[in-house]
Amino acid sequence: MLKYKKAFIWTAAVVVTMSAAVYQRLTGPTYPQKHKIEINKKSYTLKLLRTFGGDDDATIELNIPDTSVNAEIFYKNYPEIENQNWISVDFQRELKDQKSILSVNLPHQPPAGKLMYYLEISSNSKKNVVLKNNPVVIRFKGSVPTPILIPHIFFMFFAMLWANAAGLFAAFKMQQMKLYTKITFILILLGGMIFGPIVQKYAFGELWTGVPYGWDLTDNKTLIGFIVWSFALVLNLKKENRFAIIAAALITLIIFSIPHSMFGSELNRETGKVTQGYIFILPFFAYFQTKFRIKKDEV
């Protein structure tokens, strides 16, 4: 009976963890913004980049094989610089995987630098403006070495998994809860407090932009998770405290379900320093609007 109970708890922990990971991925600002458009009586879904890592320009691609369709991109800095005009660049036709697509490059920006952009798509002398009133914001970041990024992702994912397991084992009054509390603490320490700042340094040039130096949500989520599991660990050193573990697990589930990088690092172009930006909350709400009612534009 105990064996089946453990199997049930671990299955539940995996399901909760995977659900939270998928939810965070789909709603987060690093996920491309989708926009459905109808051109010449055919529907296309545009996937517009909102994040780009590396030293190259960011390539925006429109999977529209209809060669009668042309497009133009308009972009400028975000936050907007006073009296700055939109810069326009034409999309070019290219072959990718033996398919004709439209492609254009947005100029590379310093780490945490942002651009906002919208599109004009035309066909048969008809022109349609896409997202001019709510431009897409793309954030640039530096390239993170794979040997740094993979351990960070690995430790943070399994920290979430063991946190859920610890909370469930505590809820069912099972002894493994103390061991899993220790494992969760170690995983968050490694993934969030050691590898996390290193990833941040490579991506945005700063080791830490959370409290007390800033309000970067990702850093602060990690800090909160580390603190609550520190308390849970200490409170369970001498005697069992199930409620501390359950509370830590619930807090962790809530904070790590918040879309990744929603209040992410942002370059202040005047000072050259990386601060915290707020724009990414807009696509978070826009996701729910477009999830169930994707706007259609006809050209």
Domain match, 185 and 42 both: no
CA dihedral 171, 176, 181, 186 (to 10 degrees): -150
- Whole-number mean pLDDT of the chain? 86
Residue range 149-173: average pLDDT?
95
Residue 298 lies in a domain: no
Domain match, 165 and 243 both: yes
Residue 295 lies in a domain: no
Residue range 246-251: average pLDDT?
96
Lowest mean per-residue pLDDT among 172-176, 203-207, 222-226, 251-255: 203-207
Q: Which two tokens stand for residue 137?
A: 């914001």
Residue 209 lies in a domain: yes
On the question of pLDDT at 275 being above 80, the answer is no
Residue 103 lies in a domain: yes
Q: What percent of the chain has pLDDT over 70?
A: 89
Strands 136-141 and 51-53: parallel
- Residue-number span of the structural domain to which 171 is assigned: 2-27+144-276
Cβ of 172: how many Cβ atoms within 10 Å?
A: 14
Of 142, 173, 196, the residue that ends a domain is 142
- Greatest Cα pair distance, the chain, in angstroms, is 76
pLDDT of residue 266: 79
Residue 291 lies in a domain: no
Residue range 270-287: average pLDDT?
53
Domain match, 23 and 150 both: yes
pLDDT of residue 238: 87
Residue range 190-200: average pLDDT?
94
Domain match, 49 and 122 both: yes
For residues 51 and 139, what is the distance between their CA atoms, to the nearest angstrom? 5
Residue 283 lies in a domain: no
DSSP the chain: -HHHHHHHHHHHHHHHHHHHHHHHHHHSTTSPEEEEEEETTEEEEEEE-SEEESSSPEEEEE----TTEEEEEEEEEESPPTTPPPEEEE-EEEEETTEEEEEEEEPP--TT-EEEEEEEEEETTEEEEESSSS-EEEEEEPPPPHHHHHHHHHHHHHHHHHHHHHHHHHHTT-THHHHHHHHHHHHHIIIIIIHHHHHHHHHHS-S--STTT---HHHHHHHHHHHHHHHHHHHTSSS--HHHHHHHHHHHHHHHHSPTTTT-EEEETTTTEEEE--TTHHHHHHHHHHHHS----B-
Domain match, 268 and 242 both: yes
Domain match, 22 and 148 both: yes
Residue range 210-220: average pLDDT?
80
Domain match, 138 and 208 both: no
Work out the pLDDT band at 299, boundaries 50, 70, 90: very low
DSSP 241-294: -HHHHHHHHHHHHHHHHSPTTTT-EEEETTTTEEEE--TTHHHHHHHHHHHHS-
Domain match, 128 and 264 both: no
pLDDT of residue 126: 80
Residue range 27-54: average pLDDT?
87
Name the more confident of 236 and 215. Answer: 236
Question: Which amino acid is present at 130?
Answer: V
Work out the pLDDT band at 284, boundaries 50, 70, 90: very low
Lowest mean per-residue pLDDT among 154-168, 237-251, 256-270: 256-270
Of 81, 114, 142, the residue that ends a domain is 142
Domain match, 253 and 179 both: yes
Give me the number of domains the chain comprises. Answer: 2
**Surface-to-core class of residue 68, CB atoms within 10 Å of its CB (0-12 exposed, 13-18 middle, 19+ buried):** exposed
Domain match, 50 and 113 both: yes
